[in-house]
Structure 1
Amino acid sequence: MLLCLSVISCSKNLKFTNSEAVPAARGNVNIDKDDNGNYALDIDILHLTEPSRLHPSKNVYVIWMETENNGIKNLGQLKSSTGFFSNTLKASFHTVTSFKPKRVFITAENDANIQTPGPQVVLTTKSR
């Protein structure tokens, strides 16, 4: 029983707030701390239109994490399992990081390999 409670207490589920850029988009971030002290992030998104349909048009969605003490980190590009986005506009993402997440957000960008986020935030969680 105690083991189950400790596993549950280490897991956080953060919902993305509604977006003005993509109002139909919905999603969440599940954060688990593993035995090594790392943080596993699982992101699931529904109804996120292709970035080329945004105004202004962009090429990719980039996932960012604001950390407790180490600034903002580019976690990578958001892709679906069947091409860029499936017909259901569903995408998921998994990563492990040693940095403690404070907030996760997604921006529309022209390049996935940038080091600072642009101004076009399409989804964000509240700070934890």
Structure 2
Amino acid sequence: MKTINSVAITLFAFAVLVGCTPKMNFVNSTIAPAATGTINVKKDKNNNYKVTVSVLNLAESKKLSPAKETYLVWMEAAGNSVKKLGQLAPRGKALKGELTATVVDKPNEVFVTAEDNPEIEYPAGDVILTTRK
């Protein structure tokens, strides 16, 4: 009986932990087809959300056609409000990039755009990666 209770408690704890850290994947891109990535969202003790974006094989923005200055990461939350999370700069042989941001609202969608100006407040460039299906 104790074994069954232990297994049930362990499974419940695992389900709670997995439920608190949703993982989203980017949909394949037609602009950068080799690019892949994941987004992890975790709620912290202050009821904020820590969003970690990881990408691989994301070509340098200057090599796009037309060339762009940078990649910016955005999120869409409840009420369709769009917020810039920050700049993404892939580096190294694997063209790996990572960005971590803390936000108040839980993201419904996360997307990466190629932009001419890193200071913009709203997305204007091509969407390179998105979680929208």
Aligned residue number for residue 38 of structure 2: 28
- Structure 1 position 108 matched with structure 2 position 127: no
- From 23, 35, 49, give the equivalent of 1:39: 49
More helix by share: 2
Aligned residue number for residue 94 of structure 1: 100
Deviating beyond 6 angstroms after TM superposition, the runs of 4 or more aligned structure 1 residues are none
Any idea what the Cα deviations from partners look like across 1:29-55, whole Å, max 9, x if unmatched? 011112221111111100000001111
- 1:1-128 to structure 2, matched below 5 A, reads 1=10, 2-69=12-79, 71-80=81-90, 85-126=91-132
> Contact 1:65 / 1:72 at 8 angstroms: preserved in 2?
yes
Alignment RMSD (CA, Å) = 1.5
> Contact 1:70 / 1:99 at 8 angstroms: preserved in 2?
no
| CA distance in structure 2 between the aligned counterparts of 1:79 and 1:48, rounded to whole angstroms | 9
| CA distance in structure 2 between the aligned counterparts of 1:100 and 1:65, rounded to whole angstroms | 9
| CA distance in structure 1 between the aligned counterparts of 2:16 and 2:45, rounded to whole angstroms | 12
Larger Rg: 2
Cα shift at 1:86: 1.4
Cα shift at 1:56: 1.0
Any idea what the Cα deviations from partners look like across 1:10-68, whole Å, max 9, x if unmatched? 11110000001100000010111122211111111000000011111101000000011
Cα shift at 1:5: 3.0
| CA distance in structure 1 between the aligned counterparts of 2:96 and 2:125, rounded to whole angstroms | 23
Unpaired stretches in structure 1, ≥5 consecutive residues:
none
| CA distance in structure 2 between the aligned counterparts of 1:3 and 1:35, rounded to whole angstroms | 17
